[in-house]
Amino acid sequence: MIDYAVMFGFACLALAFAFNLWRLLRGPTIGDRIVALDTMVINAIALIVLNGIATNSTVTFEAALLLAMVGFIGTVAYCKFQLRGDIIE
Amino acid sequence: MIQPGLIAEILVSLLIVVGAGFALVGSWGLVRLPTLMERLHGPTKATTLGLGGILLGSVLFFQLIEGVWTAHELLVSIFLFITAPIAANMIAKVHLHETRLNRNDGIETPAGSPPAAPGPGAWATFEAPHRDTPAATSEK
């Protein structure tokens, strides 16, 4: 039963990635692209965790943890760059 | 008689399905909603909740079915639930800033511009310090 649930999850996340990609390419403002990238990172974390369930291994969960941190820092850095024209003042 | 293993499987499957559904709904909101201020709602609320569901399902899967205790998912979920509002706030600031600089030509929210901030300044995005602003909060 869990296999089917994981398959359903993979399908949902793939569709979510397609939506995010559409918004990333379409824009129209910089803020929209930042939101799309942020959502893509969150979906990527979900994909890594689902892959861990599917393959029965906890090895990749460190990658999920790192991606959560790096994704947040990337979003804030991009916003900061838009607001101030500089990241570290 | 229902076995405990079956209940665990049903619980994990339900959490994964609901979580993935919420993640999909959040991304669909990103496509469907008209302007950036509305689009922020989908990823920050629905997608974060969906990821929380998947992470909880993963914790239960490895604990109840595999018998392995993993704390990474809890760390990820705590971290995401803390950082998602901050990221959304930063993106909203970018939107306000770009709107003030008229870089968002013709892209106006249905509710119109946000009301003016009280006092002489504008909403906190970027502006030069006022004349009487102290250089640090310890001064004055």
Domain with residue A40: its CATH number is: 1.10.287
> Does residue B139 register a pLDDT over 60?
no
Task: Report how far apart, in Å, the C-alpha atoms of B110 and of each of B33, B39, B40, B106 are.
Answer: 11, 13, 15, 12
Whole-model pTM over 0.95? no
Residue A28 falls inside a structural domain: yes
Whether B71 maps to a domain, the answer reads yes
pLDDT value for B111: 59
Q: Is residue A45 part of a domain?
A: yes
Residue A38 forms part of a structural domain: yes
- Say how many domains are in chain A: 1
Residue range B82-118, pLDDT digits in tens: 998 899 888 888 888 877 776 666 556 665 666 666 7
Q: Which of B23, B79, B90 has its CB closest to that of A69?
A: B79
Total number of domains in chain B:
1
With CA atoms as reference, report the closest residue to A29 among B22, B37, B15.
B37
Q: Which of B19-28, B45-54, B58-67, B121-130 has the lowest mean pLDDT?
A: B121-130
Residue type, B137: T
Q: Which residue segment(s) compose the domain that A71 sits in?
A: 2-84
Position B129 scores a pLDDT of: 60
pLDDT in tens, A46-84: 999 999 989 988 888 888 899 989 999 999 999 888 887
**Cβ of A48 under 8 Å from any chain B Cβ?**
no
| Residue B6, amino acid | L
Chain-centre distance for alpha carbon B98:
21
- Per the structure, the complete domain to which residue B26 belongs is given by 4-83
B13 contacts A16? CB cut-off 8 A = no
Contacts of A32 in chain B (CB under 8 A): 36, 39
Q: What residues of chain B lie within 8 A of the CB of A9, using their CB?
A: 16-17, 19-20, 54
Give the HSE-up count for residue B16: Cα atoms under 13 Å, Cβ half-sphere.
30
Inter-chain touch B72–A68, beta carbons under 8 Å: no
Residue A89 belongs to some domain of the structure: no
CB atoms within 10 A of CB A64: 23
In a domain, B113, yes or no: no
